[in-house]
Each structure stands twice: as C-alpha cells, then as structure tokens.
Amino acid sequence: MSETAHDSTGMAYLDTPARRWVTVYLPLAVFLFVLLFPFYWMGMTAFKPDAELISREANPFWIHNPTFAHFDKLLFHTSYPDWMWNTIIVSVVSTFASLAASVLAGYAIERLRYKGSKQVGLAIFLAYLVPPSILFIPLATVVFQLGIFDTRWALILTYPTFLVPFCTWLLMGYFRSIPYELEECALIDGATRWQILTQIILPLSVPGLISAGIFAFTLSWNEFIYALTFVSSSEVKTVPVGVVTELVEGDVYHWGSLMAGALLGSLPVAILYSFFVEYYVSGMTGAVKE
Amino acid sequence: MRGFLDNRNALGLVFMLPAGALLLVFLTYPLGLGTWLGFTDAKIGRPGAWIGLENFEFLFGDSVARLSLFNTFFYTVVASALKFVLGLWLAMLLNKHIPFKAFIRAIVLLPFIVPTALSAIAFWWIYDSQFSVVSWALVRLGLIHQYIDFLGEPWLARLSTIAANVWRGVPFVAITLLAGLQTIAPSLYEAAALDGATEWQKFRHVTLPLLTPIIAVVMTFSVLFTFTDFQLIYVLTRGGPLNATHLMATLSFQRAIPGGALGEGAALATAMVPFLLAAILFSYFGLQRRAWQQGGTDK
C-alpha cells in the first residue's frame, strides 16, 4: 500500500483509489448535489410551462417545452423592474457611503490612535454583533419620526447600521498590515494626514476595499427585514421583499414567475461573486478572525 | 488650522464623525429606544406610557410566546449542531487534494451568497404539499405512497425549516473552517502518523484542538444568526402551522408591525438579548485561544 513516492500531496498516497472514492468523492458529490439542487430546480421551474408544472406524470427534472412566459409576465406585467432598480440604487449607495465612512473610521481607530480609540474599536465589533431582528421595531419608529418612512432613504440610511461596523472591522485589520514606516516617511516629508490616507494607505488597501465592498453589496442586496418593515409602496420595494409580498397573491399557478423572480434576483450577486470569489472569501474569513 | 489637523485627537474626532453619527442615530439610539419601548404600551401611531414589567408578565403567560421560545431554542440548537458537523466534514473534504478544487470551493458558497428570501421561495416550492419534487422522487422510488405535507405538520414543519436553514449555513461554516484547516502544518499530521496515530486520533488530537479557536468564533456567529433568524421562517411558514415554527423574531414582527403592538414586540426582541449575550460570553470564555494553540506554552 505505501509507495515510496514523497511529493507535495502530503499523505494522500496512503489512500487506495477505492477508499478515496468512498471517503472523499462520494460524500463530496452528495454535498454538491444537495447544495446546488435548489438552483437547478429554480431554473427548471422558471422555464417550464404551467401544464408541465402541475403534471405528476411527466419527469419533473426536465423541460419538454421551455417557455419564456414567466419572465414575460414578470418583466412586463409586474413591478419587478422597479424592484430591481430600487435594489440596485439602495445597495450601491449604501455600500459606497458605508465604505467611505468606514475608511475614515478605520484609519482613525487604527492609525491616529486618538484617545479612547481602543474602546471605540471594541464598540464597533459589538455593534457588528447586533442583529437586525432586535433593532427593526425601534428603528421603524426612528425612520417614521425622520419622515423618511416608505422612501428609499429609509433603506439607504439604515443599511449602514450593519455595513459600517462590518467594513470598519475588516478595514482595521487591513490597515494594521500596512507598515508604519511608510507613514512615518511621508510625515517627515511634510505630508498631511489626509495626503497619507489618500495617497499611501488607500492605494495599498485596494484588495481590502474590494473585499469589504463586495461583501457589503451582497449584504445589502440580501437584506430583508428592514426592507419589509420600512417600505410599503410597491414602487420602493426591493427584489426580495417584492417577490415575497406581491407575487405570492391569489393565482395558484404562480410558481413559474416566482422562480423566475428568484432566479433573476439572485443572478446579479452570483455574477458579481463569480468575478471576485477570492475577495469575497477573504472578506468572510477576515470578518470572523481577529 | 494646520496645528488642529495635526492633533491626533481632534483629527480622530473629525474622521470618526460620519460613521459615529450614523451609528449613534441608527444603532445606539434605537437599541436604547427598543429596550424602553419594551416597558411601555406603545402602539403604532401612539407613543406609549411606562407600564413596567407588564409586557414581560403578559408574554410569560402567553402560550404562543412560550412556544416561540421553545421553537427558537430547538431551531438554534439542532440547526447549529448540524451546521457544525456537516460544515466541518465538508471543510475537511475540501481540504483534501481533489480536482477542480478552486471551482468546487467557489460554487459551494453559492447558497450563502444568494438572497435568503429568494432561496427560501425555492424551498417553499420544493416543500409544496402537492407538487413537491422530493415527494415525487420518493413515490417513484416506492418509498412512500402519499405526498408529504412538509410544512403542514408541526414537527415536520420544524424539521423542514431547519433543513433549509442548514442548507444555507453549511457553506459559511465550511469555508471559514477550511481557512482554519489550511493553517495547520502538514508536518503535524506526518509526526502523528509516524507515532502510529489512526485517522480518528489525528482528527481528535491534532485537527480539533488546533481548530478550536476558529470554531468558537464561527459557531458564535452561526448561533447568533440562527437565534435571530427571521426571513426564512417568514417566507416558508409565517410561523405556522399552529405557531409551530414561530421564532421569537417572527413573533415579535407579527405582534409589532401587522399587529401594531410595538411595546409587546419590542419586549419580545429585548427578551432575546440575554440569550445572545450568554452565547457570546460562553464562546468567548469557554473556547478562547489558548497560548499553546498559537505556538506558545500554557501558563
């Protein structure tokens, strides 16, 4: 069983092929099947005509007469395009606003080290742990008092409550990895703090900014409870809320357009993610590490 | 002016202003306001008056609220345990030498990326009482004769929602634990193998101890998100059947927003805080980094 081959594959050479199939490939295949099946199912349902959807005889895993009827209904007979547009605006604006605020805050906490910055850093981390589902009731009254209830502002201004702590925490870790000496040199050369931040720190932090930005964008895109509570008119709803609250009514055969809506609403984040997988993963793992 | 901007305290204050102002107005103040609302009889459109512990007393005597507390615990404990076991298993599989590793790792994370509300709709369809594809397959295989009403029976509904939650959470646990696994030096496994350790012993005495700190953090996050979960339940069952899947978060929404009883909803939300604090403190003190796990010696 044990060959003499010592290469970079560690101790995998100790496994026989048969054993490897049973202990690695088979369980992995089952995991992948279960994790991906709902997406396959979403796609199948979105293109299936209603007659096939309710047939118990036909093989449900395949489409016999693919149709665009559900997409047609979604795009031209519901407010779906509005919801998409709202989601894009709210996600983009709140992500960039949070990034800007977080860069300043993260730099101040990590590099200016003003009095009390350590405690503020800890407070930022604790703020990150506050779940939206214990905050939405009082936030709803705040949003109402500010007169921004049922507008996009209600979402743009409240999403930073979870984006800013996350981005600041991530960027603090990133700034920490940039050598202090670079800043000292610039200070001696007479650079202001603002010049240091914009011309030295930020160019070096581009990967961190992308990680934080991508992650923040998907968090805003996926947000549900605030969008459900702070907005009630169809024109200002986001995709997740619109699909759940407005496509479900009445009609028994709504599954096709529901799945088409779910598919279209998932695509933008999935495509963005596919371009920045490494950044996303480093953002995610960076957020749970110290 | 120049002197002011070189003063790190003054400049620090200026830099903190945007983030600080946002968080104070939309996070700290609402957090305090929420606690206060829990002690009032506020309704939508009517500011409340202080009523002391009345909301909490009422909720304690309310069988639906007590059921939601039980559901929340059941949901959190079972889903977190499954996410941990399956996530660790998947992480260890992904840590092996397999073809298309980067690609597989990328698509594994998909359930975590897409909006939960939208994937929950896909599960709703998969769990449909008349057209469920799972029932269809099981009937064709001859394992069952009747379509399963996944979301219609209390216990089945609880387990079905847990399954959907685990589906979404496993990728997060797996990918973050994988990052931890990759930091364990292969030489440790080789040394253990030379000492004659079995696979189980290697897992138990090398992998697990070195992974404990990251497990603690990942599971704290996982428990936190599961305990306060809202959207999955809201989309799949809205708390039904017979309130069997109501979590504290969904019940608090139902009482406060459609029901209009802001005080009562806020009290329910406030009641979740002690449990969350307990979970955080437990993982912080119980599983925190030991010196030897960082290459030092225990004091």
Q: What is the pLDDT of residue B299?
A: 42
Considering only CB atoms, which chain B residues are within 8 Å of A117?
12
Q: What is the pLDDT of residue A14?
A: 64
Q: Please, which pLDDT band fits residue B2 given cuts at 50, 70 and 90?
A: low
Are A88 and A28 in a shared domain? no
Cα A199 from Cα A201, distance rounded (Å): 6
Whether B265 maps to a domain, the answer reads: yes
- The answer as to whether B22 is a domain residue is no
User: Which chain B residue shows the shortest CA-CA distance from A105?
Assistant: B16
Q: Is the predicted pLDDT of residue A9 greater than 60, yes or no?
A: no
Q: Is residue B269 part of a domain?
A: yes
- Using an 8 Å CB-CB cutoff, list chain B residues near A165: 23
Is residue A238 in a domain?
Answer: yes
Does residue B191 form part of some domain?
A: yes
Whole-angstrom Cα distance, residue A269 to residue B116?
Answer: 12
The domain that holds A148 is classified in CATH as: 1.10.3720.10
Residue A256: closest CA among A125, A67, A107:
A67
pLDDT band at A4 (very low <50, low <70, confident <90, very high): very low
Q: Measured between beta carbons, which residues in chain A are less than 8 angstroms from residue B97?
A: 9-10, 12
**Model pLDDT, residue A192:** 86
Identify whether A280 is part of a domain: yes
List the domain range (segments joined by +) for residue B283: 63-288
Q: Which of residues 7-46 of A touch B (CB under 8 A)?
A: 9-12, 24-25, 27-28, 31-32, 34-36, 38-39, 41-42, 45
Task: Give percent of chain B with pLDDT exceeding 70.
Answer: 93
- In this structure, is residue B35 part of a structural domain? no
Digit-coded pLDDT (tens) for B112-141: 999 999 999 999 999 988 888 888 888 888
**What average pLDDT does this structure show over B23-46?**
91
**Is residue B263 in some structural domain?**
yes
Say if A62 falls within a structural domain: no
pLDDT digits over A44-68, tens only? 999 988 878 777 777 778 888 888 8
- Given a cut of 90, is residue A103 above it in pLDDT? yes
CA distances from B124 to A214, B44, B219 (A): 28, 31, 27
Q: Which residue of A has its CA nearest to B261?
A: A137
Whether residue A155 is found in the same domain as residue A106: yes
pLDDT over 80 (residue A232): yes
* Residue linked to tokens 């070096």: A204
Q: How far apart are CA A227 and CA A234, in angstroms?
A: 11
| Chain B residue numbers touching A105 (CB-CB < 8 A) | 15-16, 18-20
Residues A14 and A145 in one domain: no
The torsion region of residue A11 among left (phi > 0), alpha (psi -120 to 50) and beta comes to alpha
Residues B82-98 pLDDT 10s = 999 999 999 999 998 88
- Domain co-membership, A27 together with A103: no
A172 is a domain residue = yes
Whole-number pLDDT of residue A86 = 95
d(Cα A83, Cα A236) in Å, to the nearest integer? 7
In tens, the pLDDT along A125-178 reads 889 889 999 999 999 999 999 999 999 999 999 999 999 999 999 999 899 989
pLDDT by residue (tens digit) across A239-249?
999 999 888 76
Is residue A13 one of the residues assigned to a domain? yes
Residue A51 pLDDT: 79
- Establish if A253 belongs to a structural domain: yes
Number of domains in chain B: 1
A233 is a domain residue: yes
pLDDT band at B24 (very low <50, low <70, confident <90, very high): very high
For A192, counting Cβ atoms within 10 Å of its Cβ (0-12 exposed, 13-18 middle, 19+ buried), the class is middle
pLDDT, averaged across chain A: 88
Report, as an integer, the average pLDDT of A213-219.
94
Give pLDDT tens digits for B53-65.
889 999 999 999 9
Q: What is the mean pLDDT of residues B271-284?
A: 86
The pLDDT assigned to B288 comes to: 60
Best mutation target, B113, B201, B211, to test chain A (most A CBs within 10 A): B113
Distance CA B78, CA B59 (A): 25
CATH of the domain at B229: 1.10.3720.10
Mean pLDDT of all residues in chain B? 89
CB pairs under 8 A between A and B: 275
B29 contacts in chain A (CB < 8 Å): 138, 142
Domain count, chain A: 2
Give the pLDDT confidence of A107-117 residue by residue, as tens digits.
Answer: 999 988 888 88
Give the pLDDT mean for A196-218: 92
Q: Looking at A44-53, A204-213, B187-196, B203-212, which range is the least confident one?
A: A44-53
Beta bridge partners of B50: B40
**Taking phi first (over 0 means left), then psi (-120 to 50 degrees means alpha), and beta for anything else, what does residue A116 get?**
left
* pLDDT of B76: 95
Residues spanned by the domain of A119: 78-288
Residue A72 falls inside a structural domain = no
A221 pLDDT tier (thresholds 50, 70, 90): very high
CB pair distance less than 8 Å for B93 and A31: yes
Residue B207 lies in a domain: yes
Residues of B in contact with A104 (CB under 8 A): 15-19
Tell me the HSE value of A132 on the side-chain side, using a 13 A CA sphere: 23
pLDDT at B4: 59
Q: Are residues A141 and A197 in the same domain?
A: yes
Q: Give the dihedral of Cα atoms A39, A41, A47, A49; nearest 10 deg.
A: -160
| Mean pLDDT lowest among A34-43, A94-103, A169-178, B40-49 | B40-49
* Predicted pLDDT of residue A139: 94
Q: Region A87-111: what's the mean pLDDT?
A: 95
Is B43 within a domain? Answer: no
Cβ atoms of residues B276 and B221 within 8 Å? no
Domain match, A116 and A241 both: yes
Cβ of residue A131 closer than 8 Å to a chain B Cβ: yes
How many Å apart are CA A53 and CA A161, to the nearest integer? 42
Look at residue B227 and tell me whether its pLDDT is greater than 50. yes
Other Cβ atoms less than 10 A from the Cβ of B216: the count is 19
Contact A9 B26 (CB under 8 A): no
Backbone angles phi, psi at A289, to 5 degrees: -90, 170
Q: Are residues A2 and A113 in the same domain?
A: no
